[in-house]
Amino acid sequence: MQRLRRRRRALAVAKGADATYTSAMTLPRMPAAVIFDMDGLIFDTETLYQEAFLAAAIAGDHDLPRAVIEGAIGVPWAQSRAIILAHKGPDFPVDQYFALMVTHFDLLAATELRLKPGVVELLDVLDELEMPRCIATSSGHVTVQNHLSAHGLSERFDAVIGHGDYVTGKPSPEPFLMAAKRLGMEPAACLALEDSHNGVRSASAAGMMTIMVPDLLKPTPEIQSLCTAVVDDLHAVRELILAASVG
């Protein structure tokens, strides 16, 4: 337990360090729709997942380095599974470890699931502008609906593209392309909001205007080159959309 507490303090420091980013002054065009990632963008879940991965490693007395845990978060489980097995070898009890991680995550999420700053305010503006919006996530539909329901957001998105809806996940563009199609929009008319590197790669490859709102991972030069803007939070996204609406 002491190891987990120390880890939580380290994560809080890492997330807060150098958290100011330079935003583009304006969007290149007014979006016709907005596509949201979920984990780390709408909900502050990425830290909870890191804690759950770590707690499962401690409980099973497994030595999993931070880099492996970070690489296994925010991608479909099949991809996470391959990352862990590549590091630990084929005899590692990866499915047992995953089940234990999910148990820890569910316990944490039951009491510690928080909205990221600016979510409600951004959704309010999208309502005012009558702008459709969709979630494109690596999480499954049950998880998405549980999280949305916990914060009264179930009716505030027009569609959800989740795990099982596409063949290849992020960084493939398929989740974002499917989201645009579900909303009846051309990808170039959509604004994608992401917190992860693979999410930015996915949205950019889909041809969307892409804004990164960093969570655990800072943007690299490559990631910055794929973004229309990198901003601190969804309040800043709201301001960009409002500015575009009157431009």
Q: What positions carry a catalytic annotation? A: 37, 39
- CA distance linking residue 208 with residue 82, whole number of Å: 29
CA–CA distance, 39 with 41 (Å, rounded to integer) = 5
Contact 35, 203 (CB under 8 A): yes
Neighbours of 146 (CB within 10 A): 16
Q: What are phi and psi of 212, to 5 degrees?
A: -100, 130
3-state secondary structure of 15: helix
Work out the number of other CB atoms within 10 angstroms of the CB of residue 247. Answer: 9
All residues at 6 or more sequence positions from 3 whose CB lies less than 8 Å from its CB, including other chains: 54, 58
39 DSSP assignment: B
Quick one: how far is CA 126 from the chain centroid? 19
